[in-house]
Structure 1
């Protein structure tokens, strides 16, 4: 295949090479379709081949420039060929489904997604190629654009802005995460401002600004996007260097509080003072359903302020994991959680709750969250002492799909108590008890309890104190009942088995489970 250098040494293919590729793709489409029992005329196949070759060529052009330099020509050509091959498969599968796209006008695709795992610099020329189907269409139907992992300079951002304007009547979901990587700060801020200023003409429902090194300066550069949207339902600020000042800027600039349903912050440095600003934002967001403030250095005081802000909200998902909240925040969460009737996902893992905090959370959920699907309480120093109340809480959650209790201290008693309720969870998919000081009795009880769970995808009993002969029994039982579920035991430590445990006491504890299970079922 003839490769030539374009402007500034960019990768290009000759017209002859591209024409030859289209001819080959035409044959590939017809041959693959025939193998699947579908006949396609040569003219139709040629039309489709031209379209997909153009897409593959554009993708390869974008991939030819990485954030660290120019990709070797041979590697870019392989990307071109691989992309074209994947598109052939997609086209034929669409034809087989009876959806050949013939009813759609040119440029009528409803989404544009540039995120393919490769980081590349986008030039003005490649931006024009990327957005050609939008800019060249009489009327665009694009509802979603995702530019993530492609680094935009100012010239490229200006082209993207034109594409946004062309989609003003349809675009509702815009992902601008990770779009300035590798750029000098001044250029990055100008590019980001250009992209966000262009949002003013849109009526977005979802906006993602994650994975950009924003800080307060970057948030201010995004001001137009935050102040102009009156229909926004979801916004994300994950991993943006969200400092105390940046949190205040988010609160001050975000104008669409009445419509917001989802706010996500992750891996930031907000600390307590930043949490105060976000708590104020929550209080001013009446329709909030989905909130995440994870790995943000929030401690007790900030956690309590957030907890009070949730009172009166109808939450569906709440994720505060990996913050130093402590039992104090758990106490403040009680009032908010006890009134939640729509809560499906709760993650309070790695929040230093300890038994005291977990007991308060379990108590607050006893008569609420009837539709709870996932619960995360990992790494909270939970001991067997609080397990009766925790298990009693989980017993009346029939929709549970995931239970994450890894890195605690449940031991055999806690595991055996938990095993009482697992058979009554028809939707159960994940039980994570990694590193919980569990021995033979607890591991056997848990394994037996999930054998009948038809939807089980993961059971993790690794890094516990299970005798090797018991490990073999568990693996054999799981292979027979759930061959697709792989149980790893590479970190199991048989030498840590507690020889001081009274066998008769543990046996009596085990024999009482039928009675316990029946009592839990009545809850």
Structure 2
């Protein structure tokens, strides 16, 4: 609908402003995040300024690592390269830096590192960066915001096949087609340790969701799963729901997909067996009343740790409000329920639901302020 598109456009504007505010004012001297005693633990190159990085510039950026003469004195645990576009020469310098702190580096953020490069050069740079990961033992890897597609996933294959103890990996906004999803499933070697998998703003469709569902089936520790804005429909949603059954989920986000009541039905049993679930986001999922009622059946006397539930823009009416109350009552940790853009929930029903959940902040209007501390919550 027009309202959904307007809402998403507004989000993009807010995200862009927040990104600039977070990155603004950082300099090369400030990029090295110091831990206790001034020890450098986080090298963040994301200063809000986009630039093509040369080999010479790369040496300046990585000076906090490359300037350390004694390998045993390296302390960097996390590196973020975002918004810097790396050519092959610069990527080779980055690889040198990764190798220099291989004993300490755990978290590598390679998101948004090839912007503006011709495809052939971008793939070579990406391959160079990812090949250099082979000698590391990472816990987290982020490949988001790179125009990967299947070619890019293949270029990243060394990183995917050699990192066997990864706990977190992200593929947000990478053009993750059906073929790319299949490649991820085939290449990823960390399935036994993986706890967090994020896919966002991709063109995966149902067939891509099938491949990701096959991957999830082999990840016994999956805690945090996101497959958002990925064109997943009912069949793909049902496969994902079944694959997620029995996983120790803490956060599940499937919003902005055309899931429908069919997926909600498949989620019922999955939700019933989630003692650790804290955050559930099924906004903009075409649930309507039927799907919403099914989701609430899954949550009834289940998910005792639940903190936030998002069901915005699902064409929910007064007819589902009783089910919402029944599904969400008795959850001592529940702090926020998001029901914006469900325009057919009348004022009387809104007041009734608030009375049934007196200690929960419920938002029906996007402009409504909620009196909760979001800084303490992972949404």
TM-score normalized by structure 1?
A: 0.63
Deviations 1:367-390 (A, max 9, x none): 111111111101111111110110
Q: Describe the SS at the equivalent of 1:180.
A: coil
Residue 416 of structure 1 deviates from its aligned partner by: 1.6
Aligned to 2:358: 423
Residue 205 of structure 1 deviates from its aligned partner by: 0.3
> Which protein is bigger by CA-based radius of gyration?
1
Q: Describe the SS at the equivalent of 1:286.
A: coil
The answer to whether the aligner puts 1:115 opposite 2:50 as a matched pair is: no
Q: 2:78 aligns with which of 118, 127, 144?
A: 144
Aligned to 1:59: none
Q: Could you tell me whether the CA contact under 8 Å between 1:383 and 1:414 is conserved in 2?
A: no
Q: Could you tell me whether the CA contact under 8 Å between 2:146 and 2:174 is conserved in 1?
A: yes
Q: Could you tell me whether the CA contact under 8 Å between 1:307 and 1:336 is conserved in 2?
A: yes
Aligned to 1:411: 346
Deviations 1:169-194 (A, max 9, x none): 00000000000000010000000000
Aligned to 1:231: 165
Residue 413 of structure 1 deviates from its aligned partner by: 2.9
Q: Could you tell me whether the CA contact under 8 Å between 1:153 and 1:187 is conserved in 2?
A: yes
Aligned to 1:492: none
Q: Distance in 2 between matches of 1:383 and 1:114?
A: 47
- What is the CA RMSD across the aligned residues, in angstroms? 2.5
Q: Which has the higher helix share?
A: 1
Aligned to 2:3: none
Q: Distance in 2 between matches of 1:325 and 1:237?
A: 21
Q: 1:387 aligns with which of 321, 324, 331?
A: 321
Residue 118 of structure 1 deviates from its aligned partner by: 1.5
If asked which structure has higher relative contact order (CA below 8 Å, sep 6+), I would say: 2
Q: Distance in 2 between matches of 1:274 and 1:230?
A: 23
Q: Distance in 1 between matches of 2:273 and 2:303?
A: 8
Q: 2:278 aligns with which of 344, 347, 362?
A: 344
Deviations 1:144-191 (A, max 9, x none): 000011000000000000000001100000000000000010000000
Q: Could you tell me whether the CA contact under 8 Å between 2:171 and 2:200 is conserved in 1?
A: yes
Q: 1:397 aligns with which of 331, 334, 345?
A: 331
Q: 2:89 aligns with which of 155, 168, 176?
A: 155
Q: Describe the SS at the equivalent of 1:331.
A: helix
The answer to whether the aligner puts 1:125 opposite 2:48 as a matched pair is: no
Q: Distance in 2 between matches of 1:397 and 1:415?
A: 19
Q: Describe the SS at the equivalent of 1:145.
A: strand
Q: Could you tell me whether the CA contact under 8 Å between 1:142 and 1:171 is conserved in 2?
A: yes
Q: 2:221 aligns with which of 281, 287, 302?
A: 287
Q: Describe the SS at the equivalent of 1:275.
A: helix
Aligned length: 347
Aligned to 1:248: 182
Aligned to 1:504: none
Q: Distance in 2 between matches of 1:271 and 1:286?
A: 24
Residue 434 of structure 1 deviates from its aligned partner by: 1.9
Distance 1:424 1:223, change over 3 A: same
Q: Could you tell me whether the CA contact under 8 Å between 2:335 and 2:359 is conserved in 1?
A: no
Residue 421 of structure 1 deviates from its aligned partner by: 3.4
Q: Could you tell me whether the CA contact under 8 Å between 1:388 and 1:417 is conserved in 2?
A: no
Q: Distance in 2 between matches of 1:293 and 1:414?
A: 31
The list of structure 1 runs, each at least 4 consecutive aligned residues, that deviate by more than 3 angstroms after superposition, is: none
Q: Describe the SS at the equivalent of 1:361.
A: helix
Aligned to 1:265: 199
Q: Distance in 2 between matches of 1:332 and 1:433?
A: 26
Deviations 1:231-277 (A, max 9, x none): 10000000000000000000000011000000000000000000000
Q: Distance in 2 between matches of 1:336 and 1:171?
A: 36
Q: Describe the SS at the equivalent of 1:110.
A: strand
Q: Could you tell me whether the CA contact under 8 Å between 1:248 and 1:278 is conserved in 2?
A: yes
Q: Distance in 1 between matches of 2:64 and 2:366?
A: 52
Residue 456 of structure 1 deviates from its aligned partner by: 6.8
Aligned to 1:326: 260
TM-score normalized by structure 2?
A: 0.87
Residue 116 of structure 1 deviates from its aligned partner by: 1.6
The answer to whether the aligner puts 1:170 opposite 2:104 as a matched pair is: yes
Aligned to 1:297: 231
Q: Describe the SS at the equivalent of 1:248.
A: helix
Aligned to 1:310: 244
Residue 140 of structure 1 deviates from its aligned partner by: 1.0
